[in-house]
Amino acid sequence: MFHKVLIANRAAIAARVLRALRSMGIRSVAVYSEADAQLPYLALADESYCIGPAEPGKSYLNQDAILQVLRDSGADALHPGYGFLSENAEFARRVQAQGAVFIGPSPEWIDAMGHKTRARELMRQHGLRMAPSSGLLSGEPEQDRRMAQEIGYPVLVKPATGGGGIGMMAARNDEELAKAVEQAGSLSRRSFGSAELYLERLLEKPRHIEFQILADRAGNVCHLFERDCSVQRRHQKVIEESPAPRLPREMVAAAGDEIVGVLAKMRYDVIGTVETLHAPGGGFQFLETNTRLQVEHAVTEEITGIDLVVAQIRLAAGEPLSAVIAQPVTVRGHAIEARIYAEDPVRFFPSPGTLKVLEFPVGPGIRVETGFAQGCAVTPYYDPMIAKLIVHAETRALAIERLQQALAATRIEGVKHNIPFIQRVLQSDAFRSGDVHTGLAAQVLAA
């Protein structure tokens, strides 16, 4: 097992990984930008290092600075968290070149799954179903139009690299396609350093269902059930839950087993999440594989009792899957997570500022993941998520009630936040009945 791990991230996920390392008796190394110097979890790390100014490119995306800390601290492993460099194969290789372990899938898998069109072709060859899509767009408007017409409108213009819903644009005709390609390409270039795009058939009101994967270095793979991430705003997840409501368990199990079979044949390793879309009559259709821990991993932890961060660390250290996960794993109750952002609840613009009041409820079935404390500043440099509020209960109805009560008891002052929006979704008849889909948030806002 590792003796010291560097956490190459910030805020909620850095605090989460730090907690896992402390539970395992592993020494921790935290890094921070000048803007994050006062975040509370830094005091809990065994060592902490400033890696640069606030701008991500000069700190959390600065590979040289992070690798220097890796050398200076003597850490023998690095946990990338999510976002930033977590799915950067070059960075993973550089970590390995220094003699340390990158706590994630092998760089080869980060490469293979990181480029969406190549990943889709790989999974298609292994028999997974997916919505009609194109290869990379050529940049020639006439060829782009022909590709869209062959797929059939409406289509979704998507970056071939990156994730998080950034740069995804819908187009319902040739005129909208030209605008979407221009805007998506610009966003993708700024966010991911690449303007490569492709087209995918836009499914109307599908379910967004993802499967949590764990695997060892010997090719043994398992899934820990599904998460329903259908409640999204502008392709960004807001509410996640497990199990997925109103989906037959035998159908979900069959889809999970099929994915496990494919990944085992490919000898995928450590951790990942296979994202799918589910439409009535169309089954599960492959979207992408995220080669990292997900923001919403706590939902799976609550229904299985398995600490995914600890499991990820143990698998990366070379332990067999059978030693990390005691089979069979069963679903216990229902869990829901709400992402709380510092943003205007009407226009949804970021709302940076100082958290003059930050109070969360405590009690059975309530869990809070955050990197902030009262008095900390939410800066404009990073994702404006303040916290994740997770609840667990025996049934979905009880979990919804518990989350509503927890949100009502949460106090945040100094910045605007999206709790009123989350409450509107939870109170809607569609959500309460389990009639969730990717258009639900917009439907609630338009009501």
Residues with catalytic roles: 292
Q: Which two tokens stand for residue 72?
A: 């200076």
What count of other Cβ atoms lies within 10 Å of the Cβ of residue 216?
22
Q: Which two tokens stand for residue 37?
A: 């110097």
Per-residue burial over 122-153, b = 16 or more CB atoms within 10 Å of its CB, e = otherwise: bbeeeebebbebbeebeeeeeebbebbeebeb
3-state class (DSSP) for residue 7: strand
Tell which residue, 294, 238, 262, has the closest CA to residue 436: 238
Q: How far apart are CA 74 and CA 68, in angstroms?
A: 10
- What is the spatial order of strands in the sheet that 270-279 belongs to? 283-290, 270-279, 207-215, 221-233, 236-242, 334-341, 385-393, 366-370
Give the DSSP letter string of 303-365. Answer: HH---HHHHHHHHHTT--HHHHSPSPP---SEEEEEEEESB-TTT--B--EE-SEEE---STT
Q: How far apart are CA 81 and CA 84, in angstroms?
A: 8
Per-residue burial over 382-404, b = 16 or more CB atoms within 10 Å of its CB, e = otherwise: bbbbbbbbbbbbeebeebbebbb
What end-to-end distance do the CA atoms of the chain give, in Å? 53
